[in-house]
Amino acid sequence: MKPANYIQLAKEAQARALAPYSGFRVGAVLISASGKTYQGCNVENSSYSLTCCAERVAMFKAVSEGDREFTDLYLCGDAPEYTYPCGACRQVLLDLGGSDLKIHLIHSNGTFKTVTVGDLLPLSFNASHLRKP
């Protein structure tokens, strides 16, 4: 699939966002190593800490369906520039997608730039820190 198709899928997911409190809608599409796509949107809750971001919705959906290897994530939001993953999403993307997972940040004009999870979360705490010697 071409990047334009993934951008369209992310925008479709964004349109389904439930953001009655912030009004900030986010859409994501995660691509597995096998090429399967998983869409996610942010889902807000009146108890703000229970809100789930689009990136985590897509990742948890993929993992719950048995996928464990991912190559790319496309992300769009209501910001006039690029929407970046929050800190919690960066940690989840690192743990479940790895530091080489490519994140394609979609600009409001439809273009995108690509970074990796490692770029967004340098010097990170990860599973290797939890292993006993």
Task: Map tokens 């948890």 to a residue.
Answer: 60
Q: What's the CA gap between 52 and 41, in Å, rounded?
A: 8
Interatomic CA distance for residues 36 and 14, integer angstroms? 19
81 annotated active-site: no
For residue 87, the SS3 value is helix
CA distance 94 to 43: 21
Give residue 66's region: left, alpha or beta (phi > 0; psi -120 to 50): left
Of 44, 55, 65, 81, the active-site residue reads 55
- Phi first, then psi: what are they for 94, rounded to 5°? -65, -50
- Catalytic center residues: 55
